[in-house]
Structure 1
Amino acid sequence: MHVLLLKEPRDEESAPDPYMKELESHGHKATLIPVLSFKFVSLNTFSDKLFQPEKHGGLIFTSPRAVEAVKMCLDMGGRREEWNKSIKDKWNSKSIYVVGKATAALVQSLGLKPLGEDTGTADVLSRLIIEREDTDIPPLFFPCGSIKREVLPTALRENGVPLETLTVYQTAEHPDLEKNLKNYFTEQGTPASIAFFSPSGVKFCLEAVRRLSGDQLNEIKFAAIGPTTRDAMAAEGLCVSCTAEKPTAEHLAAAIATALQ
Protein backbone atom coordinates (compact mmCIF):
# COMPACT_ATOMS: atom_id res chain seq x y z
CA MET A 1 0.00 0.00 0.00
CA HIS A 2 1.03 3.61 -0.51
CA VAL A 3 2.30 5.55 2.50
CA LEU A 4 3.05 9.28 2.38
CA LEU A 5 5.72 10.58 4.78
CA LEU A 6 5.53 14.31 5.46
CA LYS A 7 9.02 14.82 6.88
CA GLU A 8 12.53 16.02 6.24
CA PRO A 9 14.84 13.91 4.06
CA ARG A 10 17.93 12.29 5.52
CA ASP A 11 20.85 14.66 6.11
CA GLU A 12 23.12 12.28 4.22
CA GLU A 13 21.50 12.69 0.81
CA SER A 14 23.11 9.53 -0.56
CA ALA A 15 21.75 7.13 2.06
CA PRO A 16 18.16 5.88 1.73
CA ASP A 17 15.77 7.39 4.25
CA PRO A 18 15.38 4.89 7.14
CA TYR A 19 11.61 5.42 7.35
CA MET A 20 11.13 4.62 3.67
CA LYS A 21 13.40 1.59 3.99
CA GLU A 22 11.53 0.23 7.02
CA LEU A 23 8.10 0.67 5.41
CA GLU A 24 9.32 -1.06 2.25
CA SER A 25 10.49 -4.00 4.38
CA HIS A 26 6.84 -4.29 5.54
CA GLY A 27 5.78 -4.41 1.88
CA HIS A 28 4.51 -0.82 1.57
CA LYS A 29 5.53 1.79 -1.00
CA ALA A 30 6.66 4.94 0.81
CA THR A 31 7.07 8.42 -0.66
CA LEU A 32 8.69 11.31 1.21
CA ILE A 33 7.67 14.94 0.70
CA PRO A 34 9.73 17.56 2.59
CA VAL A 35 7.50 19.87 4.60
CA LEU A 36 9.86 22.42 6.12
CA SER A 37 12.75 24.57 5.03
CA PHE A 38 15.34 25.98 7.42
CA LYS A 39 17.38 29.17 7.50
CA PHE A 40 20.27 29.42 9.95
CA VAL A 41 20.60 32.63 11.97
CA SER A 42 22.78 34.19 14.72
CA LEU A 43 25.70 31.89 13.88
CA ASN A 44 28.37 34.40 14.99
CA THR A 45 26.76 34.70 18.44
CA PHE A 46 26.32 30.91 18.55
CA SER A 47 29.97 30.34 17.66
CA ASP A 48 31.13 32.66 20.46
CA LYS A 49 29.04 30.76 23.00
CA LEU A 50 30.19 27.34 21.77
CA PHE A 51 33.79 28.36 22.44
CA GLN A 52 33.06 29.49 26.02
CA PRO A 53 31.99 26.21 27.66
CA GLU A 54 33.10 27.50 31.06
CA LYS A 55 30.11 29.88 31.05
CA HIS A 56 27.54 27.09 30.78
CA GLY A 57 26.49 24.03 32.77
CA GLY A 58 25.91 21.86 29.71
CA LEU A 59 24.22 21.69 26.30
CA ILE A 60 20.71 20.71 25.14
CA PHE A 61 19.89 19.62 21.57
CA THR A 62 16.31 18.74 20.68
CA SER A 63 16.68 18.72 16.88
CA PRO A 64 19.18 17.63 14.23
CA ARG A 65 19.05 21.17 12.84
CA ALA A 66 20.58 22.68 15.99
CA VAL A 67 23.50 20.23 15.69
CA GLU A 68 23.90 21.17 12.01
CA ALA A 69 24.25 24.78 13.18
CA VAL A 70 27.22 23.69 15.36
CA LYS A 71 28.90 22.09 12.32
CA MET A 72 28.35 25.30 10.35
CA CYS A 73 29.99 27.35 13.13
CA LEU A 74 33.03 25.04 13.16
CA ASP A 75 33.44 25.13 9.37
CA MET A 76 32.61 28.82 9.01
CA GLY A 77 35.26 30.04 11.43
CA GLY A 78 37.83 27.36 10.57
CA ARG A 79 37.69 26.40 14.24
CA ARG A 80 37.31 22.63 13.95
CA GLU A 81 40.92 22.04 15.04
CA GLU A 82 40.47 24.12 18.19
CA TRP A 83 37.18 22.30 18.84
CA ASN A 84 38.79 18.86 18.49
CA LYS A 85 41.88 19.80 20.50
CA SER A 86 40.23 21.22 23.62
CA ILE A 87 36.70 22.62 23.42
CA LYS A 88 34.76 19.37 22.90
CA ASP A 89 36.48 17.82 25.95
CA LYS A 90 35.46 20.81 28.08
CA TRP A 91 31.85 20.28 26.98
CA ASN A 92 32.14 16.52 27.59
CA SER A 93 33.03 17.22 31.23
CA LYS A 94 29.44 18.61 31.45
CA SER A 95 26.10 17.07 30.45
CA ILE A 96 25.09 17.04 26.75
CA TYR A 97 21.35 16.34 26.58
CA VAL A 98 19.55 15.18 23.42
CA VAL A 99 16.10 14.04 22.27
CA GLY A 100 16.04 11.06 19.92
CA LYS A 101 18.52 8.82 18.16
CA ALA A 102 18.97 10.96 15.02
CA THR A 103 20.05 13.97 17.09
CA ALA A 104 22.24 11.75 19.32
CA ALA A 105 24.08 10.33 16.28
CA LEU A 106 24.83 13.83 14.96
CA VAL A 107 26.01 14.96 18.41
CA GLN A 108 28.37 11.96 18.54
CA SER A 109 29.79 12.94 15.14
CA LEU A 110 30.94 16.20 16.81
CA GLY A 111 32.89 14.15 19.36
CA LEU A 112 30.36 14.83 22.11
CA LYS A 113 28.80 12.25 24.44
CA PRO A 114 25.00 12.53 24.41
CA LEU A 115 22.63 11.73 27.29
CA GLY A 116 18.92 11.01 26.94
CA GLU A 117 18.66 9.70 23.38
CA ASP A 118 15.88 7.33 24.48
CA THR A 119 13.75 10.12 25.95
CA GLY A 120 11.89 10.72 22.67
CA THR A 121 10.17 13.97 23.72
CA ALA A 122 11.18 17.30 25.27
CA ASP A 123 8.79 16.59 28.13
CA VAL A 124 10.55 13.35 29.12
CA LEU A 125 13.98 14.95 28.58
CA SER A 126 13.12 17.85 30.89
CA ARG A 127 12.32 15.33 33.65
CA LEU A 128 15.73 13.68 33.16
CA ILE A 129 17.48 17.07 33.35
CA ILE A 130 15.59 18.07 36.51
CA GLU A 131 16.57 14.75 38.16
CA ARG A 132 20.24 15.18 37.28
CA GLU A 133 20.99 18.89 37.63
CA ASP A 134 21.35 21.16 40.65
CA THR A 135 19.79 24.60 40.63
CA ASP A 136 23.10 26.37 41.37
CA ILE A 137 24.87 25.38 38.10
CA PRO A 138 25.74 27.90 35.37
CA PRO A 139 22.86 28.00 32.81
CA LEU A 140 22.41 25.06 30.45
CA PHE A 141 22.72 26.28 26.86
CA PHE A 142 19.85 25.42 24.49
CA PRO A 143 20.30 26.32 20.78
CA CYS A 144 16.86 25.95 19.19
CA GLY A 145 14.52 26.76 16.32
CA SER A 146 12.18 29.72 15.94
CA ILE A 147 9.07 27.64 16.64
CA LYS A 148 10.29 25.53 19.55
CA ARG A 149 7.65 24.45 22.04
CA GLU A 150 7.88 25.91 25.54
CA VAL A 151 7.59 22.54 27.35
CA LEU A 152 11.28 22.18 28.19
CA PRO A 153 12.10 25.83 29.10
CA THR A 154 8.95 26.03 31.26
CA ALA A 155 9.66 22.78 33.13
CA LEU A 156 13.27 23.79 33.85
CA ARG A 157 12.30 27.30 34.93
CA GLU A 158 9.58 25.98 37.28
CA ASN A 159 12.15 23.66 38.88
CA GLY A 160 14.84 26.33 39.20
CA VAL A 161 17.28 24.85 36.64
CA PRO A 162 18.96 27.82 34.89
CA LEU A 163 18.65 27.88 31.09
CA GLU A 164 19.86 30.13 28.29
CA THR A 165 18.26 29.77 24.85
CA LEU A 166 19.43 31.04 21.46
CA THR A 167 17.46 30.77 18.20
CA VAL A 168 19.90 29.36 15.63
CA TYR A 169 17.48 28.47 12.83
CA GLN A 170 14.13 29.65 11.52
CA THR A 171 11.53 27.21 10.29
CA ALA A 172 9.27 27.94 7.33
CA GLU A 173 7.08 26.00 4.94
CA HIS A 174 9.03 24.25 2.18
CA PRO A 175 8.64 26.38 -0.99
CA ASP A 176 7.57 23.37 -3.13
CA LEU A 177 5.24 21.75 -0.59
CA GLU A 178 1.93 22.59 -2.27
CA LYS A 179 3.21 21.65 -5.73
CA ASN A 180 4.74 18.35 -4.51
CA LEU A 181 1.57 17.33 -2.69
CA LYS A 182 -0.55 18.10 -5.74
CA ASN A 183 1.76 16.06 -8.00
CA TYR A 184 1.72 13.14 -5.57
CA PHE A 185 -2.09 12.95 -5.37
CA THR A 186 -2.40 13.36 -9.16
CA GLU A 187 0.10 10.59 -9.94
CA GLN A 188 -0.40 8.13 -7.04
CA GLY A 189 -3.94 8.87 -5.88
CA THR A 190 -4.93 9.04 -2.19
CA PRO A 191 -2.44 7.10 -0.03
CA ALA A 192 -3.55 4.39 2.40
CA SER A 193 -1.64 6.11 5.21
CA ILE A 194 -0.13 9.55 5.85
CA ALA A 195 2.49 10.07 8.57
CA PHE A 196 3.15 13.43 10.24
CA PHE A 197 6.46 14.16 11.98
CA SER A 198 5.88 17.51 13.68
CA PRO A 199 3.16 19.96 14.72
CA SER A 200 4.56 22.35 12.05
CA GLY A 201 4.03 19.63 9.46
CA VAL A 202 0.38 19.38 10.51
CA LYS A 203 0.03 23.16 10.32
CA PHE A 204 1.56 23.47 6.86
CA CYS A 205 0.07 20.36 5.17
CA LEU A 206 -3.32 19.59 6.55
CA GLU A 207 -5.41 22.00 4.50
CA ALA A 208 -3.88 20.74 1.23
CA VAL A 209 -4.23 17.07 2.29
CA ARG A 210 -7.93 17.63 3.09
CA ARG A 211 -8.55 19.37 -0.21
CA LEU A 212 -6.66 16.82 -2.34
CA SER A 213 -8.12 13.70 -0.71
CA GLY A 214 -11.71 15.02 -0.71
CA ASP A 215 -14.25 12.26 0.05
CA GLN A 216 -11.47 9.74 0.73
CA LEU A 217 -10.06 11.63 3.73
CA ASN A 218 -11.79 9.32 6.24
CA GLU A 219 -10.27 6.22 4.59
CA ILE A 220 -6.69 7.40 5.25
CA LYS A 221 -4.89 5.92 8.28
CA PHE A 222 -3.14 8.90 9.85
CA ALA A 223 0.05 8.15 11.77
CA ALA A 224 2.04 10.31 14.23
CA ILE A 225 5.75 10.09 15.09
CA GLY A 226 5.02 10.84 18.76
CA PRO A 227 2.54 12.23 21.31
CA THR A 228 3.23 15.92 20.55
CA THR A 229 2.44 15.47 16.86
CA ARG A 230 -0.54 13.21 17.69
CA ASP A 231 -2.00 15.96 19.92
CA ALA A 232 -1.55 18.56 17.16
CA MET A 233 -3.37 16.24 14.71
CA ALA A 234 -6.19 15.52 17.15
CA ALA A 235 -6.58 19.26 17.84
CA GLU A 236 -7.27 19.71 14.10
CA GLY A 237 -9.98 17.05 14.24
CA LEU A 238 -8.00 14.27 12.55
CA CYS A 239 -8.65 10.70 13.59
CA VAL A 240 -5.16 9.38 14.47
CA SER A 241 -4.91 5.66 13.69
CA CYS A 242 -1.53 5.05 15.28
CA THR A 243 1.39 6.69 17.11
CA ALA A 244 4.95 5.34 17.11
CA GLU A 245 5.89 3.93 20.50
CA LYS A 246 9.30 5.60 20.10
CA PRO A 247 10.31 8.16 17.45
CA THR A 248 12.25 5.67 15.30
CA ALA A 249 11.78 4.28 11.79
CA GLU A 250 11.22 0.75 13.17
CA HIS A 251 8.52 1.80 15.64
CA LEU A 252 6.66 4.01 13.17
CA ALA A 253 6.75 1.40 10.37
CA ALA A 254 5.50 -1.28 12.77
CA ALA A 255 2.62 0.97 13.93
CA ILE A 256 1.60 1.81 10.34
CA ALA A 257 1.85 -1.84 9.24
CA THR A 258 -0.49 -2.84 12.08
CA ALA A 259 -2.96 -0.01 11.29
CA LEU A 260 -3.07 -1.06 7.61
CA GLN A 261 -3.74 -4.77 8.29
Structure 2
Amino acid sequence: MAENIRILSTKTLLSNQKQFLLNANLSVVEADFIETKSLPILANAQINEALIFTSQNAVNTVLGFENIEDLKAKKVFCVGLKTKALLEENGFQVEAYTGYAEDLAEIISLVYADSSYTFFSGNLRRDVLPEKLKEAEISFNEIEVYETILTPQKMTSTGSANGNSTFDGILFYSPSGVESYTKQNKIADEICFCIGNTTAEALEHHTKNIIVANQPSVENVIIQCINYFSRKH
Protein backbone atom coordinates (compact mmCIF):
# COMPACT_ATOMS: atom_id res chain seq x y z
CA MET A 1 0.00 0.00 0.00
CA ALA A 2 1.25 3.49 -0.83
CA GLU A 3 2.50 5.59 2.06
CA ASN A 4 1.06 8.87 3.30
CA ILE A 5 -2.58 7.82 3.05
CA ARG A 6 -4.25 9.93 5.72
CA ILE A 7 -7.23 8.67 7.72
CA LEU A 8 -9.37 10.56 10.23
CA SER A 9 -11.35 8.63 12.83
CA THR A 10 -14.18 10.76 14.20
CA LYS A 11 -13.78 9.10 17.59
CA THR A 12 -10.81 7.85 19.57
CA LEU A 13 -10.16 4.20 18.75
CA LEU A 14 -9.07 1.42 21.05
CA SER A 15 -5.33 0.79 20.75
CA ASN A 16 -5.81 -2.51 18.90
CA GLN A 17 -8.29 -0.91 16.49
CA LYS A 18 -5.85 1.87 15.66
CA GLN A 19 -3.07 -0.67 15.26
CA PHE A 20 -4.98 -2.39 12.44
CA LEU A 21 -4.81 0.85 10.46
CA LEU A 22 -1.17 1.48 11.32
CA ASN A 23 -0.23 -2.06 10.30
CA ALA A 24 -1.73 -1.30 6.89
CA ASN A 25 0.62 1.71 6.59
CA LEU A 26 -2.18 4.22 7.03
CA SER A 27 -1.55 7.48 8.88
CA VAL A 28 -4.24 7.97 11.54
CA VAL A 29 -5.59 11.11 13.22
CA GLU A 30 -8.25 10.68 15.93
CA ALA A 31 -10.69 13.26 17.31
CA ASP A 32 -13.88 12.86 19.34
CA PHE A 33 -16.71 14.68 17.59
CA ILE A 34 -19.31 13.63 20.14
CA GLU A 35 -19.37 13.11 23.89
CA THR A 36 -21.94 11.27 25.99
CA LYS A 37 -23.21 12.15 29.46
CA SER A 38 -25.21 9.78 31.65
CA LEU A 39 -28.52 11.07 33.01
CA PRO A 40 -30.03 10.03 36.36
CA ILE A 41 -32.77 7.41 36.36
CA LEU A 42 -35.61 8.14 38.77
CA ALA A 43 -36.00 5.49 41.44
CA ASN A 44 -39.77 5.38 40.83
CA ALA A 45 -39.49 5.17 37.04
CA GLN A 46 -41.94 2.71 35.47
CA ILE A 47 -40.05 -0.33 34.16
CA ASN A 48 -42.09 -2.71 32.02
CA GLU A 49 -41.83 -6.47 31.41
CA ALA A 50 -39.03 -6.32 28.82
CA LEU A 51 -36.17 -3.92 28.11
CA ILE A 52 -34.86 -2.41 24.87
CA PHE A 53 -31.34 -1.06 24.36
CA THR A 54 -30.02 0.39 21.11
CA SER A 55 -26.55 1.45 22.33
CA GLN A 56 -23.78 0.56 24.73
CA ASN A 57 -24.09 4.07 26.21
CA ALA A 58 -27.58 3.27 27.43
CA VAL A 59 -26.41 -0.03 28.92
CA ASN A 60 -23.54 1.64 30.78
CA THR A 61 -25.91 4.16 32.35
CA VAL A 62 -28.47 1.56 33.37
CA LEU A 63 -25.75 -0.55 35.01
CA GLY A 64 -25.61 2.18 37.66
CA PHE A 65 -29.34 1.91 38.40
CA GLU A 66 -29.99 1.08 42.06
CA ASN A 67 -32.47 -1.66 41.13
CA ILE A 68 -30.17 -3.23 38.54
CA GLU A 69 -30.64 -6.78 39.87
CA ASP A 70 -34.40 -6.52 39.29
CA LEU A 71 -33.76 -5.50 35.68
CA LYS A 72 -31.54 -8.52 35.06
CA ALA A 73 -34.56 -10.78 35.57
CA LYS A 74 -36.33 -9.22 32.57
CA LYS A 75 -36.11 -10.17 28.90
CA VAL A 76 -33.82 -7.88 26.95
CA PHE A 77 -33.89 -6.87 23.28
CA CYS A 78 -31.04 -4.89 21.77
CA VAL A 79 -29.36 -3.48 18.69
CA GLY A 80 -25.73 -4.38 18.03
CA LEU A 81 -23.49 -7.32 18.78
CA LYS A 82 -21.32 -5.31 21.17
CA THR A 83 -24.40 -4.05 23.01
CA LYS A 84 -25.49 -7.68 23.37
CA ALA A 85 -22.05 -8.70 24.64
CA LEU A 86 -21.98 -5.87 27.19
CA LEU A 87 -25.42 -6.86 28.49
CA GLU A 88 -24.50 -10.53 28.79
CA GLU A 89 -21.19 -9.74 30.49
CA ASN A 90 -23.23 -7.97 33.18
CA GLY A 91 -25.75 -10.73 33.78
CA PHE A 92 -28.60 -9.87 31.39
CA GLN A 93 -30.29 -12.49 29.22
CA VAL A 94 -30.70 -11.18 25.67
CA GLU A 95 -33.82 -12.59 24.05
CA ALA A 96 -33.13 -11.15 20.58
CA TYR A 97 -30.74 -8.73 18.91
CA THR A 98 -30.30 -7.26 15.44
CA GLY A 99 -27.91 -4.93 13.65
CA TYR A 100 -30.50 -2.20 13.08
CA ALA A 101 -33.37 -0.69 15.06
CA GLU A 102 -35.82 -1.22 12.19
CA ASP A 103 -35.20 -4.97 12.26
CA LEU A 104 -35.55 -5.15 16.03
CA ALA A 105 -38.90 -3.35 15.89
CA GLU A 106 -40.08 -5.84 13.27
CA ILE A 107 -39.06 -8.85 15.37
CA ILE A 108 -40.78 -7.44 18.45
CA SER A 109 -43.92 -6.67 16.46
CA LEU A 110 -44.09 -10.10 14.81
CA VAL A 111 -42.96 -12.40 17.61
CA TYR A 112 -43.11 -10.60 20.96
CA ALA A 113 -46.08 -8.27 20.57
CA ASP A 114 -47.78 -9.38 23.79
CA SER A 115 -45.09 -7.99 26.10
CA SER A 116 -44.72 -4.44 27.37
CA TYR A 117 -41.38 -2.70 26.97
CA THR A 118 -39.16 0.00 28.41
CA PHE A 119 -36.83 1.59 25.85
CA PHE A 120 -33.68 3.12 27.35
CA SER A 121 -32.60 5.83 24.92
CA GLY A 122 -30.40 8.86 24.30
CA ASN A 123 -31.51 12.40 23.52
CA LEU A 124 -30.55 12.14 19.84
CA ARG A 125 -32.07 8.73 19.17
CA ARG A 126 -33.79 8.17 15.85
CA ASP A 127 -37.57 7.93 15.65
CA VAL A 128 -37.69 4.64 13.74
CA LEU A 129 -38.01 2.17 16.61
CA PRO A 130 -40.61 4.02 18.73
CA GLU A 131 -42.64 4.91 15.64
CA LYS A 132 -42.73 1.30 14.46
CA LEU A 133 -43.67 0.08 17.92
CA LYS A 134 -46.52 2.61 17.99
CA GLU A 135 -47.70 1.51 14.54
CA ALA A 136 -47.78 -2.09 15.74
CA GLU A 137 -49.64 -1.00 18.91
CA ILE A 138 -46.89 -2.38 21.14
CA SER A 139 -47.12 -1.22 24.76
CA PHE A 140 -43.92 0.65 25.71
CA ASN A 141 -42.49 3.63 27.50
CA GLU A 142 -39.21 5.44 26.95
CA ILE A 143 -36.63 6.58 29.50
CA GLU A 144 -33.86 8.92 28.35
CA VAL A 145 -30.71 7.76 30.12
CA TYR A 146 -27.88 9.57 28.32
CA GLU A 147 -27.20 12.74 26.39
CA THR A 148 -25.13 13.00 23.22
CA ILE A 149 -23.23 16.27 22.98
CA LEU A 150 -21.77 17.47 19.68
CA THR A 151 -18.14 18.61 19.92
CA PRO A 152 -17.37 20.09 16.47
CA GLN A 153 -13.80 21.16 15.68
CA LYS A 154 -11.89 22.26 12.62
CA MET A 155 -9.57 19.50 11.42
CA THR A 156 -6.56 19.04 9.18
CA SER A 157 -4.55 15.91 8.47
CA THR A 158 -2.14 16.88 11.24
CA GLY A 159 -4.97 17.26 13.73
CA SER A 160 -4.46 21.00 14.11
CA ALA A 161 -7.38 23.31 14.64
CA ASN A 162 -7.10 25.44 11.50
CA GLY A 163 -6.87 25.08 7.76
CA ASN A 164 -8.75 22.68 5.48
CA SER A 165 -9.03 18.92 5.73
CA THR A 166 -6.58 16.99 3.57
CA PHE A 167 -7.59 13.46 4.54
CA ASP A 168 -7.93 10.58 2.11
CA GLY A 169 -10.53 8.78 4.22
CA ILE A 170 -12.82 9.57 7.16
CA LEU A 171 -14.36 7.01 9.51
CA PHE A 172 -17.88 7.80 10.78
CA TYR A 173 -19.78 5.86 13.46
CA SER A 174 -23.08 7.72 13.91
CA PRO A 175 -25.33 10.34 12.33
CA SER A 176 -24.49 12.70 15.21
CA GLY A 177 -20.79 12.27 14.41
CA VAL A 178 -21.51 13.30 10.83
CA GLU A 179 -23.49 16.32 12.02
CA SER A 180 -20.73 17.40 14.37
CA TYR A 181 -17.93 16.97 11.81
CA THR A 182 -19.74 18.88 9.07
CA LYS A 183 -20.45 21.86 11.32
CA GLN A 184 -16.85 23.05 10.86
CA ASN A 185 -15.50 20.89 8.03
CA LYS A 186 -16.45 20.34 4.41
CA ILE A 187 -16.22 16.96 2.71
CA ALA A 188 -14.58 17.17 -0.71
CA ASP A 189 -12.88 14.13 -2.24
CA GLU A 190 -12.44 12.12 0.95
CA ILE A 191 -13.80 8.57 0.99
CA CYS A 192 -16.22 8.25 3.91
CA PHE A 193 -16.52 4.89 5.66
CA CYS A 194 -19.74 4.44 7.67
CA ILE A 195 -20.75 2.02 10.40
CA GLY A 196 -24.25 1.61 8.96
CA ASN A 197 -27.01 2.81 6.69
CA THR A 198 -28.32 5.56 8.97
CA THR A 199 -24.86 7.11 9.20
CA ALA A 200 -24.56 6.85 5.42
CA GLU A 201 -27.92 8.60 5.00
CA ALA A 202 -26.65 11.50 7.10
CA LEU A 203 -23.62 11.76 4.83
CA GLU A 204 -25.57 11.73 1.57
CA HIS A 205 -26.23 15.47 1.98
CA HIS A 206 -22.48 16.11 1.87
CA THR A 207 -20.85 13.53 -0.45
CA LYS A 208 -21.36 10.59 -2.78
CA ASN A 209 -18.06 8.98 -1.73
CA ILE A 210 -19.59 6.61 0.81
CA ILE A 211 -18.70 3.02 1.72
CA VAL A 212 -20.90 1.25 4.28
CA ALA A 213 -19.58 -1.47 6.58
CA ASN A 214 -20.84 -5.02 5.99
CA GLN A 215 -21.49 -5.33 9.71
CA PRO A 216 -22.33 -2.39 12.02
CA SER A 217 -19.09 -2.47 14.03
CA VAL A 218 -16.04 -0.24 14.39
CA GLU A 219 -13.84 -3.15 13.32
CA ASN A 220 -15.72 -3.60 10.07
CA VAL A 221 -15.48 0.12 9.30
CA ILE A 222 -11.71 -0.25 9.70
CA ILE A 223 -11.64 -3.37 7.50
CA GLN A 224 -13.55 -1.58 4.73
CA CYS A 225 -11.07 1.29 4.90
CA ILE A 226 -8.03 -0.98 4.74
CA ASN A 227 -9.51 -3.04 1.91
CA TYR A 228 -10.39 0.05 -0.12
CA PHE A 229 -6.94 1.61 0.02
CA SER A 230 -5.21 -1.75 -0.46
CA ARG A 231 -7.08 -2.23 -3.73
CA LYS A 232 -6.62 1.35 -4.81
CA HIS A 233 -2.88 1.45 -4.15
TM range (shorter): 0.7 to 0.9
Q: Relative to structure 1, is the Cα distance of residues 89 and 199 closer, same or farther in structure 2, using a 3 angstrom cutoff?
A: closer
- Report % sequence identity: 23
Q: Relative to structure 1, is the Cα distance of residues 246 and 129 closer, same or farther in structure 2, using a 3 angstrom cutoff?
A: same
Q: Relative to structure 1, is the Cα distance of residues 44 and 127 closer, same or farther in structure 2, using a 3 angstrom cutoff?
A: closer
Structure 1 residues 1-261: aligned runs within 5 Å? 1-7=5-11, 9=12, 16-17=14-15, 19-41=17-39, 43-45=40-42, 47-49=43-45, 56-74=48-66, 83=69, 87-91=70-74, 95-117=75-97, 119-135=98-114, 137=115, 139-174=116-151, 177-178=152-153, 181=155, 184=159, 190-210=166-186, 217-218=188-189, 220-234=190-204, 236-260=205-229, 261=232
Contact residue 10 and residue 30 of structure 2 kept, 8 A: yes
Q: Relative to structure 1, is the Cα distance of residues 88 and 141 closer, same or farther in structure 2, using a 3 angstrom cutoff?
A: closer
Q: Give the deviation of 1:88 after TM superposition.
A: 4.8
Pick which of 245-254 and 199-208 moved more.
245-254
Q: Give the deviation of 1:204 after TM superposition.
A: 1.1
Q: Give the deviation of 1:164 after TM superposition.
A: 0.7
Aligned residues: CA RMSD: 2.6
Q: Give the deviation of 1:225 after TM superposition.
A: 0.8
Find the aligned partners of 2:30 and 2:78 in 1 and give their Cα distance: 25
CA deviation string 1:48-77 (max 9, x = no partner): 44xx7xx52211110111111112224xxx
Contact residue 88 and residue 111 of structure 1 kept, 8 A: no
Find the aligned partners of 2:32 and 2:180 in 1 and give their Cα distance: 11
Find the aligned partners of 1:247 and 1:33 in 2 and give their Cα distance: 20
Q: Relative to structure 1, is the Cα distance of residues 101 and 17 closer, same or farther in structure 2, using a 3 angstrom cutoff?
A: farther
Contact residue 241 and residue 259 of structure 1 kept, 8 A: no
- For structure 1, the residue ranges without an aligned partner over 5 or more in a row are 11-15
Q: Give the deviation of 1:108 after TM superposition.
A: 1.6
Query: TM-score, structure 1 length as denominator?
Result: 0.76
Which protein is richer in helix relative to its size? 1
Query: TM-score, structure 2 length as denominator?
Result: 0.84
Q: Relative to structure 1, is the Cα distance of residues 193 and 89 closer, same or farther in structure 2, using a 3 angstrom cutoff?
A: closer
CA deviation string 1:78-108 (max 9, x = no partner): x66xx2xxx25522xxx21111122122212
Q: Give the deviation of 1:243 after TM superposition.
A: 0.5
Q: Give the deviation of 1:187 after TM superposition.
A: 10
Flag as ranges the 4+ runs of structure 1 deviating above 6 A.
Answer: 186-189
**Equivalent residue letter for 2:57:** R
- For structure 2, the residue ranges without an aligned partner over 5 or more in a row are none
Contact residue 66 and residue 169 of structure 1 kept, 8 A: yes
Secondary structure, counterpart of 2:73 in structure 1: helix
Contact residue 58 and residue 121 of structure 2 kept, 8 A: yes
Find the aligned partners of 2:121 and 2:168 in 1 and give their Cα distance: 34
Find the aligned partners of 1:18 and 1:66 in 2 and give their Cα distance: 24
**Equivalent residue letter for 2:86:** L
**Equivalent residue letter for 2:126:** R
Q: Give the deviation of 1:17 after TM superposition.
A: 4.5
Q: Relative to structure 1, is the Cα distance of residues 5 and 162 closer, same or farther in structure 2, using a 3 angstrom cutoff?
A: same
CA deviation string 1:120-178 (max 9, x = no partner): 1111221222222124x3x201110111111001111111211110111122113xx41
Aligned length: 224
Find the aligned partners of 1:65 and 1:124 in 2 and give their Cα distance: 20
**Equivalent residue letter for 2:87:** V
Q: Relative to structure 1, is the Cα distance of residues 108 and 33 closer, same or farther in structure 2, using a 3 angstrom cutoff?
A: same
Secondary structure, counterpart of 2:207 in structure 1: coil
